[in-house]
Every structure is written in C-alpha cells, then in structure tokens.
Amino acid sequence: MQGTVEGFSFGAVTPAASYLVACVGSALGLRCVIRSLSNRQSWKPGWLALGAATIGCGIWTMHFVAMAGFRIQGIPIDYDGRLTALSLVVAIVTAGLGVFAVGYRGATPVTLTAAGILTGLAVVATHYTGMAALKLNGSLGYDSPTVAASVLLAVTAATAALWSAASFRGFPAALGAGLLMGVALTGTHYTGMAALSVHLRGATDASYMTGMYGSSSSASILLPLLIGPVVFLILAGVVVMFDPQLVLGDGDWSRATPRRRRATAAVPERPAHPPRTASLFEPRDQRADRRTSSRGR
C-alpha cells in the first residue's frame, strides 16, 4: 500500500524558513573560509573550523526545518535520535573536508571544484541520512533519476557558490554566494523529497498514532537538536559582525587602510619640544652664540 506524501503541510512557511536558514548558514560559513585565506597561519584553523561548523549546521537545520512540513497521510512519524545526530556530524565533517582544502591549498580552480563537490555531497549525505532517521510503519523508496538530479543540483550550485565567494570580495559577493548556496541546499532537499515514495506495512497501530510532534519522544529528540545549531549560527553571526575584515571584505579593508595612512600623513606632526628662539631682551652677543651652537648641533 502506497502512502500519500505531503511536503508542504504548512504551506510556504517551511520552504521559506528553510531557505532563510540555508542562506544565513552558508553566507556566514563562506565568509569565514574567505577570511582564513588572508589570515595568519596561527588563526587559520579556527576560522576554517568555524566555517565548516557553520555550513554544516546550516545544512542540517535547513533539512529539519523543511521536514516540519512533511506528513504521510494516516501515518505518524518519529525520528531515531542517533541517526539524527549522525546526520549533523556528517554535514559538518563532509563540509569541513572541502573547507580545509580551500583554506590550506588556496582558492585554485582545482581546489574550488573539489571543495564544491565535497560540499554538495555533504548536502546530499545529510539529507538522506536524515531521511534514514525516520521511524514509521512503512519503508521508503526513491526514484533513481530524481535522486541523481538532486546530487547534480547540490554539487553544481555548491561549486558555483564557492567560486563566487572566492572570486569577488565584499559583502554583496558574500550575500550572492549565500543566496546561491541556499538554492543548493533547499533545491537538493525538495528534489530528493520529490524522489520519495512510501510503502505502508498494512494497518497502523492505534497506539502509534500520536503524530509527528504529538509524542514526547519526538519533541525531546528534535527540539534540543534544533535549538543547539540555531544558537550556534547566531553566535557565528556575532563573530562575523564584530570582525571588520569579514564585514568590509578583504579588498575594501585593504583599500581603506592606505586611505587612513594618507590622511594621517597629510597632518604634520608636532615636534615634541618647540624650537627655542632667542629673546629680544637678550644681549646681542648671547643671541649670536645661541645661533652658532644650534648650527653646530
């Protein structure tokens, strides 16, 4: 028996919210990666780790925000806590491989392409690991060509976002790359959901009919895991906001520094001690001696 799948039970609310989370996490993470390229070696691992964790949290949070609108008619849904947590780890680790490759090998075409592939695979792996965490009275099936399309979309859009972030500096470029990365995340999710089919296993047990959020076990699993990554994204945003180079971009910040230097150089420096001048009330011979001694110095 085939189950009727509904992916937009709250209308446009969940797709819009998931896209917003994806854009925020991606923009912050990409800015951290670009920041690491112009930073001292001692700070590079910290910026790269922050970028990987931010992108991974954005991917994971986007998936489960979008899943809030997922329903199967007549079937309650729950989540396996271990696989749900594993999907977050997969997102951060897989995205981290691409992030650290760019940070340490530079923004070369080969590295950016490889990092884009890894980041796209992070999106795909997070989605299908998160789907494997579903607990329901049935089994999941996927249409292979549609799954392949979701993988291609994730890899292509993620690679384009990384190229855009590395090629153009400044806040507008970061915003554009984040919007493009948001398309990769949400597009992959809903393309993968279009490939989904559910085969139900006979009649549903009435004791299991508590709904996706009606059971305390579901709330105890999802709510803490959603709150944690969201709080982390907020803290990452605070770090970015208080770093001038991340806000202005490498090019803008480097151009602003010479302007400040020129403005400083245009102002003549005051001598530490004003030159001593001879007094009109001094005798003429003393004034002559003072001038002779100053020439000697």
Q: Is pLDDT above 90 for 93?
A: yes
What pLDDT, on the 0 to 100 scale, is given for residue 293?
54
More confident position, 80 or 286: 80
Q: Is pLDDT above 90 for 269?
A: no
CA neighbor of 135 nearest in space, from 62, 214, 208, 223 = 208
Predicted confidence (pLDDT) per residue in 123-152, tens digit:
999 999 999 999 888 889 999 999 999 999
Task: Classify residue 185 as exposed, middle or buried by CB count within 10 Å of its CB (0-12, 13-18, 19+).
Answer: buried
Predicted confidence (pLDDT) per residue in 145-189, tens digit:
999 999 999 999 889 888 888 877 666 777 788 888 898 899 999
Rounded Cα distance, 231 and 234, in Å:
5
What pLDDT, on the 0 to 100 scale, is given for residue 143?
94
Rounded Cα distance, 78 and 215, in Å:
8
Distance, first Cα to last Cα, the chain: 104
Predicted confidence (pLDDT) per residue in 23-60, tens digit:
999 988 888 888 888 766 668 888 999 999 999 999 99
Predicted confidence (pLDDT) per residue in 191-250, tens digit:
999 999 998 876 554 344 444 333 443 445 566 777 888 899 889 888 888 876 655 554
